[in-house]
C-alpha cells in the first residue's frame, strides 16, 4: 500500500463543495473517489486539507489517498486527468509517508477573496464577486490588522452550536487593489465555516462605511455572528495554497 499526495485545481461553480456530507451529491471528492476506485479496483477514500464550500474554487487544494498500484506517479496523474471532468485538474502528485494526512498535517492555508468594483473582465466573471460600491482600501487594511492574530472567531462563522474550539490564528491579511479588482488574501492555521467570506464581507462593509471598525472588537468579545458583515458569495473565493 502506498500513500499519495496530490494537488488539484478546480472550478467549484457547479459542485456542492469538496466533501460528501450525509446525502450531499455532486461533490468534488465524489468525482475523485469514483475515478480512483475504478483505478485501484476497490473503494478508495480521499482526504483533503479541508472542505471547500459549494461554489468555492481552488488553485492548489491538497489531498491524499492510499492505493496499491503498479502505476507510476505520472501515470496516475494522467489517468486522473483523463477521467476527471474538465473543471477538475490534478497539477501534481507524489508518494508520501504512510502517516501523512492532508488535513491533520496542514500547518496553514491561504485563501483569496476577489471583489470587482467595476464590471469584471468577461473571462474571469465567474471567479469574482461583482459589488458596485467602491470601498476605502486603507480603512479595510486598518481593520484587517485588528482581525490578524489569535482570536475566538465564532462570531465570524456560520457555525451552529459546537463544543469544539473556535479559536484560530490568522497569520496575515493582505489587501491589494488593481484595475477594479480588490484581492483579500488571508492566511491562517484553520478556518471555521464561512469564516473567510464573513471576514471579507466585514472588511468590505467597513471600507464602505456601512460598519465601523470598532465592530471587530465587539464580535470577538460577544461572538455574535449577526454583528459582522454579510457572507460574501462563494464565487469570489478560492483556496490558493496549503502549507505543510
Residues of the shown chain interacting with its own copies in the complex, contacts defined by CB under 8 A = 9-11, 57, 81-82, 86-89, 118-125, 127, 130
Instruction: Compare residues 68 and 86 and give the one whose CB is closer to its own copies.
Output: 86
CB of 91 to its own copies, least distance (A): 9
CB of 43 to its own copies, least distance (A): 25
Instruction: Compare residues 45 and 121 and give the one whose CB is closer to its own copies.
Output: 121
Q: What is the 3-state secondary structure (H, E, C) of the chain?
A: CEEEEEEEEECHHHCCCCCCCCCCCCCHHHHHHHHHHHHHCCCCCCEECCCCCCCCEEEEEEEEEEECCCCCHHHHHHHHHHHCCCCEEEEEEEEECCCCCCCCCCCEEEEEEEEECCCCCHHHHHHCEECCCCCCHHHHHHHHHHHCEEEECHHHCCCCCCCCCCEEEEEEEEEEEECCEEEEEEEECCCCCCHHHHHHHHHHHHHCCCCCCHHHHHHHHHCCHHHCCCCCCHHHEEEEEEEC
Instruction: Identify whether 53 is a catalytic site residue.
Output: yes
CB of 120 to its own copies, least distance (A): 8
The active-site residue, picked from 11, 53, 136, 205, is: 53
Instruction: Compare residues 36 and 144 and give the one whose CB is closer to its own copies.
Output: 36
By annotation, the residues acting in catalysis are: 53
Amino acid at each position: 500500500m502506498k500513500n499519495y499526495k496530490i494537488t488539484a485545481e478546480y472550478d467549484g461553480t457547479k459542485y456542492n463543495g469538496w466533501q460528501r456530507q450525509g446525502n450531499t451529491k455532486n461533490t468534488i471528492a465524489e468525482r475523485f473517489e469514483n475515478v480512483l476506485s475504478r483505478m485501484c479496483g476497490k473503494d478508495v477514500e480521499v482526504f483533503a486539507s479541508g472542505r471547500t464550500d459549494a461554489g468555492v474554487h481552488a488553485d492548489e487544494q491538497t489531498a491524499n489517498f492510499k492505493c496499491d498500484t503498479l502505476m507510476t506517479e505520472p501515470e496516475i496523474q494522467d489517468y486522473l486527468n483523463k477521467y476527471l471532468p474538465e473543471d477538475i485538474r490534478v497539477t501534481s502528485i507524489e508518494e508520501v509517508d504512510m502517516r501523512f494526512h492532508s488535513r491533520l498535517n496542514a500547518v496553514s492555508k491561504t485563501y483569496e477573496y476577489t471583489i470587482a468594483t467595476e464590471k469584471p473582465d468577461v473571462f474571469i466573471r465567474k471567479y469574482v464577486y461583482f459589488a458596485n460600491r467602491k470601498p476605502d482600501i486603507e480603512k479595510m487594511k486598518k481593520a484587517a490588522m485588528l482581525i490578524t492574530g489569535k482570536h475566538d472567531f465564532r462570531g465570524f462563522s456560520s457555525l451552529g452550536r459546537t463544543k469544539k474550539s473556535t479559536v484560530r490564528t490568522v497569520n496575515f491579511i493582505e489587501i491589494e487593489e488593481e484595475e477594479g479588482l480588490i484581492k483579500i488574501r488571508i492566511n491562517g492555521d484553520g478556518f471555521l465555516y464561512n469564516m473567510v467570506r464573513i471576514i471579507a464581507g466585514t472588511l468590505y462593509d467597513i471600507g464602505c462605511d456601512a460598519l465601523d471598525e470598532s465592530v471587530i472588537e465587539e464580535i470577538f468579545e460577544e461572538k455574535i455572528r449577526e454583528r459582522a458583515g454579510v457572507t460574501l458569495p462563494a464565487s469570489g473565493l478560492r483556496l490558493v495554497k496549503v502549507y505543510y
